[in-house]
Amino acid sequence: SRSSPSRAEVHSIPLPFLSIRRPDMAKAELPAEDLQRIWKACDPNGNGYVSCAEFDKVVAEEWPQYDVKPAMIMAHKMASGGDGLVVKKEFKRLLYCLDWCNDVFKAFEEMDTEGDRRVSLEEFEKGANEVLGLNLGADDLKEAFESIDTNGGGQILFGEFANYVVQKKLDIVTPPDVADFHFD
């Protein structure tokens, strides 16, 4: 199984961060000088583009709690507009996407009790109502699982899960920790 979403999965996901506004300070809402410093760290050669590898390095070094590869890769693909590179005008979107994708991945991880980055029908039946607040019966849970498993592999992958969260407009937000948003 693959651990990162396909390009088709990522680009079929709308940009939910536009409607999700948390009361805490998100990375994209940092003071301008902090955003400039972060941009420069992400664009070390000054070419005006941030590759996935450049962003990954900064996330790993500065925000290790957000260093979840599937979420980071998905966030970069969502923000890059399809060309694989993030320009300055897409940078705030990248930071919102990173925050949102990590929140969604945490919910995905709660259901993935085997830790294999896939959710089986059994794991979904045990965790979906609590983690996602679905309040569905057994038959409806099985039907939901089958609709989420779009590739028919018998497992829900992170990209499929994120699509479902967006389609159902589920409120996936982890409690903020102010320390998560400090960049020094």
pTM: 0.75
Cα–Cα distance measured from residue 161 to residue 43, given in angstroms and rounded to the nearest whole number:
31
With CA atoms as reference, report the closest residue to 93 among 12, 152, 15, 183: 15
Cβ neighbours for 126, distance < 8 A, ≥ 6 positions apart: 111, 113
Which pLDDT belongs to residue 183?
Answer: 32
CA distance readout (Å), 28 to 45, 49, 98, 144, 164:
22, 17, 10, 33, 25
pLDDT at 68: 94
Residues 181 and 184: their CA atoms lie apart, in Å, by 10
Mean pLDDT by 10 residues, the chain (184 residues): 36 34 52 87 96 95 90 92 89 90 92 96 93 91 95 95 82 48 33
pLDDT at res. 24:
41
The tokens for 57 are 């390095």
